[in-house]
Amino acid sequence: MRAIPALALGALVLPLSALAADPHSYAQPNEVRVTHLDLDLAIDFPHKALDGTATLSLDWKDPNAPALVLDTRDLKIAKVEGLDTAGRASALKFALAPRDKELGSKLTIQAPRHPAKVRIVYATSPQASGLQWLTPAQTADKKLPFMFSQSESIHARSWVPLQDSPAIRFTYTAHVTAPKDVRVVMSAINDAKHPLDGDFRFDQPHPIPSYLLAIGAGDIAVEETGPRSAVYAEPSVVGKAAHEFEDTEKLIEATEQLYGPYAWGRYDILVLPPSFPYGGMENPNMTFATPTVLVGDKSLVSLVSHELAHSWSGNLVTAASWRDIWLNEGFTTYVQGRITEAVYGKALADEEALLSARALQKSIGDMPANSQKLAPDPRGVGADDSLSDVAYDKGSWFLRTLEQRFGRGTFDEWLKAYFHRHAFTSITTEQMLADMKANLFDTHPGKMSWDEAKAWVYQPGIPREAPLPTSLRFQTIDKERADFLAGTLDANELDAKGWNTQEWMYFLDRLPDAPPLSKMKQLDAAWHLTGTPNAEIGMRWYSHAIAAGDKNVWEDAREHMTRIGRMYLTLPVYKAFAATPEGLAYAEAAYAKAKDGYHPMTQGAIESILRKARQGKK
């Protein structure tokens, strides 16, 4: 990391040492920094491995640095060579340290002569945490195997040896071979018309952090959705996905109107099999998306708004460490709301903002005080644990507050310029605040005190004056829910026939944690929520019905949580089962049968829930 002077932010002074170290990486970028990656890989489905070479172009910062230190996890390193400026190769000594559970194995390459490039011959493990390998039976069309990556937060090191820190950006090219009939895609420009000849080449000319390195391969068809967008998915899914995402160009244009030109050329979407552990992953040029958003009515297309927004907040301007991840997710959630408002209307945007705010209000008090901060103090948690609702929802709430105080026009002017000033760089919370103070607070005084802004970032909880949007629809739902629970309104008298997905989510979210069983049975009889194909509604319904003691939903709840690998939609149902001994035994049996179909990240999260339940922990 290049030297950054201490930043004075009112009473806040951040020392250089706090900016220079990434606790989740072994890399030493003050000594040498990777600037470019050339991959040459073969996809081996039978052995569940990628094997080939990674060639790293190096910028030596310290003339006395003796070695290049890289991050790896479960990689088999066969050989390391140094390449001089003429391309001549010479063997280099290397050592792979014992595996750390969180960080993997430090790879130290002795390179006292400072070669221009280092080439590493390696292969991945079948258990690579950043890759999932699916048999044909685990895909929608049952025809070909499928493989995809998930590098965020520190899982790129499980399939490429590199400096796995968001502070370090590099360009890359890749040559990937695969069986014929398999399409390979990456987080770069993809050719929709590329022949399925088993030979693919990619070029990412913009510097990206390692967590945005991505690859996918399988039986993948393509349908164009606009002049610079397409949907990639299995043949039986691609048509439905193209319909759901047909507004992609409108979303891109709306964001450009707000925050400037789209910098990445194309914006494509790969719809993955159901085991994908997240809603979406903002890989440059190609968002990886869950099929759970394909409900037919575009009601969950905000996921595309969110991942597209990352093309400005996260991919263009990136958090320099996982402690600063709210710079990615909070800003993106705010921009997502603005895109949704521009394309689908203010009412829907306000409903989504209220949903997230109410959920955060309910959960934040149960978190440790340090976890309630946007920029927490050093806390020794894993990088994956940094991605909490606080980063997303408190972060976006802070930005909505700024918009209200300074006025939308003024705030938009600052935000657009902020993206431009820091394009293709990784920055810290303190660098963002320095920009905000100089270019928003100091140029428009009297709108909000600087101490108030710092309290949002560095203090736990949600400030009392935090503004919330209003929704007449939600107010009506609040009254109907209260009347239903009080027994003055029957379930079949709820005015729910026209509720959209967000309104059902809101109704269910604000039910008691363990509602009366009789009420759940009435609700199901009237509205047939058990068996719903809408996973957002299903997760909420099953969690409440199980907590109420309704065993009639167990089989459908099991089908929901074992069919869907998206953690956000699966883990709450496991938690509901794990709350009772009988439910825990049922969930453990269901997991044993479904385990192989889950992503490694999902497996770890479910096993943690079950283990804590067995030990009697919350």
Q: Of 527, 590, 584, nearest to 564 (Cα)?
A: 590
Residue 69 has pLDDT above 60, yes or no: yes
Question: Residue 4 falls within a domain, yes or no?
Answer: no
Same domain membership, residue 194 and residue 127: yes
Residue 6 has pLDDT above 60, yes or no: no
- Cα-Cα-Cα-Cα dihedral of 98, 99, 101, 106, to 10°? 100
Cα dihedral sign, 503-507-513-518: negative
Number of helices followed by number of strands (H, E) in the chain = 19, 23
Examine the residue annotation and report whether 307 is marked as an active-site residue of this protein.
Answer: yes
Give 4's pLDDT tier (boundaries 50, 70, 90): very low
- What distance in Å separates the CA atoms of residue 557 and residue 531, rounded to the nearest whole number? 8
Catalytic residue among 282, 307, 341, 403: 307
> Which of 428, 458, 488 marks a domain boundary?
458
- The whole-number pLDDT of residue 19 equals 41
- The whole-number pLDDT of residue 618 equals 54
Instruction: Tell me: is residue 206 an annotated ligand-binding position.
Output: no
Same domain membership, residue 48 and residue 126: yes
Give 1's pLDDT tier (boundaries 50, 70, 90): very low
The whole model's pTM is what? 0.92
73 contacts: CB under 8 Å, gap ≥ 6: 99, 103, 104, 105, 128, 129, 130, 155, 157, 158
Same domain membership, residue 438 and residue 573: no
- Could you read off the pLDDT of 177-204 as tens digits, one per residue? 999 999 999 999 999 999 999 999 999 9
Strands 229-233 and 268-271: parallel
Domain at 438, CATH number:
1.10.390.10
Catalytic residue among 211, 392, 574, 586: 392
Q: What residues make up the domain containing 229? A: 27-297
Question: Residue 163 falls within a domain, yes or no?
Answer: yes
Cα 353 to the chain's mean position, in Å? 18
**Within 10 A of 96 (CB to CB), how many other CB atoms are there?**
16
Give 18's pLDDT tier (boundaries 50, 70, 90): very low
The single residue listed with the structure tokens 């949600």 is 462
Backbone phi and psi for residue 132, each to the nearest 5 degrees, phi listed first: -125, 135
Examine the residue annotation and report whether 392 is marked as an active-site residue of this protein.
Answer: yes
Same domain membership, residue 216 and residue 275: yes
- Could you read off the pLDDT of 466-523 as tens digits, one per residue? 999 999 999 999 999 999 999 999 999 999 999 999 999 999 999 999 999 999 999 9
The identity of residue 338, as a single letter, is R
- The whole-number pLDDT of residue 13 equals 35
Residue 298 has pLDDT above 90, yes or no: no
Same domain membership, residue 392 and residue 260: no
Question: Residue 489 falls within a domain, yes or no?
Answer: yes
- What distance in Å separates the CA atoms of residue 301 and residue 289, rounded to the nearest whole number? 11
- What distance in Å separates the CA atoms of residue 143 and residue 595, rounded to the nearest whole number? 21
- The whole-number pLDDT of residue 5 equals 31
Q: Stretch 290-294: mean pLDDT, rounded? A: 93
Same domain membership, residue 226 and residue 83: yes
Same domain membership, residue 407 and residue 554: no
Question: Residue 309 falls within a domain, yes or no?
Answer: no
- What distance in Å separates the CA atoms of residue 394 and residue 333, rounded to the nearest whole number? 10
10 Å CB burial of residue 194 (0-12, 13-18, 19+) is: middle
Residue 41 has pLDDT above 90, yes or no: yes
Residue 307 has pLDDT above 60, yes or no: yes
Quote the Cα angle for 90-91-94, to 5°.
140
Question: Residue 245 falls within a domain, yes or no?
Answer: yes
Instruction: Tell me: is residue 329 an annotated ligand-binding position.
Output: yes
Q: What is the mean pLDDT of the chain?
A: 94
Residue 382 has pLDDT above 90, yes or no: no
> Which of 397, 425, 458 marks a domain boundary?
458
Same domain membership, residue 599 and residue 518: yes
Q: Stretch 541-549: mean pLDDT, rounded? A: 98
- The whole-number pLDDT of residue 12 equals 36
Question: Residue 10 falls within a domain, yes or no?
Answer: no
Domain at 152, CATH number:
2.60.40.1730
Question: Residue 596 falls within a domain, yes or no?
Answer: yes
Give 20's pLDDT tier (boundaries 50, 70, 90): low
Q: Stretch 447-470: mean pLDDT, rounded? A: 96
> Which of 240, 269, 297 marks a domain boundary?
297
- Could you read off the pLDDT of 258-289 as tens digits, one per residue? 999 999 999 999 999 999 999 999 999 999 99
Cα 265 to the chain's mean position, in Å? 21
Residue 17 has pLDDT above 80, yes or no: no
Domain at 538, CATH number:
1.25.40.320
Structural domain count, the chain: 3
Instruction: Tell me: is residue 420 an annotated ligand-binding position.
Output: no
What single string gives the DSSP state of each residue in 334-351? HHHHHHHHHHH-HHHHHH
- The whole-number pLDDT of residue 571 equals 98
Same domain membership, residue 526 and residue 557: yes
- Could you read off the pLDDT of 227-256 as tens digits, one per residue? 999 999 999 999 999 999 999 999 999 999
Same domain membership, residue 479 and residue 393: no
Residue 21 has pLDDT above 90, yes or no: no
Q: Stretch 365-373: mean pLDDT, rounded? A: 96
- Could you read off the pLDDT of 578-605 as tens digits, one per residue? 999 999 999 999 999 999 999 999 999 9
Same domain membership, residue 355 and residue 240: no
Question: Residue 463 falls within a domain, yes or no?
Answer: no
Same domain membership, residue 258 and residue 379: no
